[in-house]
Amino acid sequence: MTNKEKLLKDLKIGCGVARPVRSPRGTQLHCKGWYQEAALRMLCNNLDPDNAENPDELIVYGGLGKAARNWHCFDVIVKTLLDLENDETLLIQSGKPVGVLKTHTNAPRVLMANANIVPQWANWDTFHELDKKGLIMYGQMTAGSWIYIGTQGILQGTYETFASLGRKHYHSDLTGKIIVTAGLGGMGGAQPLSVTMANGVAICIEIDPTRIKKRLDKRYLDIEATSLDQAIASAQAAAKNGTPLSIGLCANVCDVLPAMIQQKFIPDVITDQTSAHDELNGYFPQGLSLEAALTLRKTDPETYKDMALNSMALHVRAILELQKKGAIAFDYGNNLRAQAMKRGVDNAMDYPGFVPAYIRELFCRGEGPFRWAALSGDPEDIRVTDRELIRLFPEKTKMINWLKMAGEKVEHMGLPTRICWLGYGERERAGKLFNDLVRDKKVKAPIVIGRDHLDCGSVASPYRETEAMKDGSDAVADWALLNCMTNVASGATWVSFHDGGGVGIGYALHAGQVTVADGTPEAENRLITVLRNDPGTGIIRHADAGYKTAIDVAHAKGVKLPMINMET
């Protein structure tokens, strides 16, 4: 039996039904090249039961974020990747493989577009109509672009946010501070560990007990409280002692926040990371048990959505009340504020989004979520990359501290992976380093390098990444398209363009890229070009908006800005 035949058997390709999927490991190719092999392994990794929220339904995270439209499409994608030539490109339309084109060896092996609807019709109602007809799929960000790496994928960005909050408001870290939030799903699950990494105390409210158990099992969450009183008491004791602690509480946040206000318990920080962007599949209304809510979603979706939006209004009003009483409030990019505005909370924007509050200065330097996966499946390969990055950037003390903490505290989900925010000029150096490690056999197999779509130049999202832009260009989506085209032109291994992300249909357009380090000179050229130009679009985007930091970085590092250079 050949490697290809064995893989088809192991993945039960052709059965067309749900089954557990795990990524192949090791050094043996099943495809005709490592670029196709990497796409196949990362697709499977997205659906690993240790990684995905609901793999039987092909849902990876974020409500409806899927890796393939249906199991038949998954089977055909796998078979097509196995046979794909090194000068061909597979086209994926919302999780469905629709064609293979003869291109060239430096072209992407896969091009994907997910959930893009003509703007006049870009809303959830239209999406759901098309979804029922089997014509579309919600790709979230990294679900439909095959570079989800579990909760770690947003872990450092969440840590950077809380660390920046500590520096801005407390001139320190979060020692002795209590953060209250909700949501322990694929993205929200990063919050408890991020807070404790910043030395704070977190109370994390989650209605689904299986999510709490998963975060406890994977060591993202320290303990579970059985009541609100116990959660508050444990949090106050830890804060008083300056001890980092994360506490899970199984409840509906819409019940908990008013109870906190009634008890006059005001946390230092209040935020939220439920999947509120999707009122049908991502948020649980007040007044229903978990089981009753799941039933109502199917039997009466319109009533469910109405109840969910009403609950979001209550939720945001509670956050505003806590803010009024002294808590620092910020939105974590799930469109909760805009959803509440649909139910009359006109002042929902009185608390800021996390990007303008804490992250934009990083974007102006071209910094963003550089992530990678070891296709060997051996965690030792990640330890090697961590060690070599520390050697490459000895001056980056924050990065070094992060990598050491991640090495000690982060449990891999699916293939061994890591994320590390790097800036313009640094990403391409890291990409060359990784390619050298593969070439010199210091790691056992090629390394996949990608990122979240939440990056400095790849998103147009007025309620998240591009909220409150200096020049008012929040909703201009040309930048996301330019980033997408730049990555295709630069030779990324696969490139994607989506609608919706973490804020919902019609609220964001965003691009993603993944590039493979296989140790060859060709890969080195691709990596250097992609990892220079991808964050380069972020420098250009923010310089064009008038941010001095971005202009200074562009001038210092040779990013050409024709208009600005002529004007100055």
Active site (catalytic) residues: 420
- Please state, in angstroms and rounded to a whole number, the distance separating the CA atoms of residues 415 and 146: 12
Segment (H or E) for 557? helix 548-557
- Please state, in angstroms and rounded to a whole number, the distance separating the CA atoms of residues 423 and 536: 10
Question: What tokens appear for 146 in the block?
Answer: 């095959």
Task: Tell me if 286 sits within 8 A of 314, measured CB to CB.
Answer: yes
Question: What tokens appear for 532 in the block?
Answer: 């220079």
Task: Tell me if 444 sits within 8 A of 376, measured CB to CB.
Answer: yes
What is the SS3 assignment for 10?
A: helix
- Please state, in angstroms and rounded to a whole number, the distance separating the CA atoms of residues 142 and 139: 7
What is the SS3 assignment for 376?
A: coil
Identify the burial level of 279 via C-beta atoms within 10 angstroms of its C-beta, where 0-12 means exposed, 13-18 middle and 19 or more buried.
Answer: buried
- Please state, in angstroms and rounded to a whole number, the distance separating the CA atoms of residues 282 and 448: 30
The identity of residue 85, as a single letter, is E
451 bridge partner residues: 370
What is the SS3 assignment for 266?
A: coil
- CA distance from start to end of the chain: 66
419 bridge partner residues: 371
Segment (H or E) for 447? strand 447-451
Task: Tell me if 199 sits within 8 A of 173, measured CB to CB.
Answer: yes
Contacts of 20 (CB under 8 A, 6+ apart): 49, 55
- The DSSP 8-state label assigned to residue 2 in this structure reads -
Question: Dihedral angle at the C-alpha atoms of 93, 95, 98, 100, nearest 10 degrees?
Answer: 100
Give the phi and the psi of residue 248 in degrees, each rounded to 5. -95, 140
The identity of residue 30, as a single letter, is H
- Please state, in angstroms and rounded to a whole number, the distance separating the CA atoms of residues 545 and 541: 6
Task: Tell me if 110 sits within 8 A of 144, measured CB to CB.
Answer: no
Question: What tokens appear for 541 in the block?
Answer: 């985007």
Q: Where are the alpha helices (DSSP H) in 208-300?
A: 209-217, 228-241, 253-262, 290-299
What is the SS3 assignment for 436?
A: helix
Question: What tokens appear for 309 in the block?
Answer: 């939006």
- The DSSP 8-state label assigned to residue 359 in this structure reads I
Give the phi and the psi of residue 532 in degrees, each rounded to 5. -85, -50
- The DSSP 8-state label assigned to residue 23 in this structure reads -
For β-strands 269-270 and 245-250, DSSP reports them as unpaired
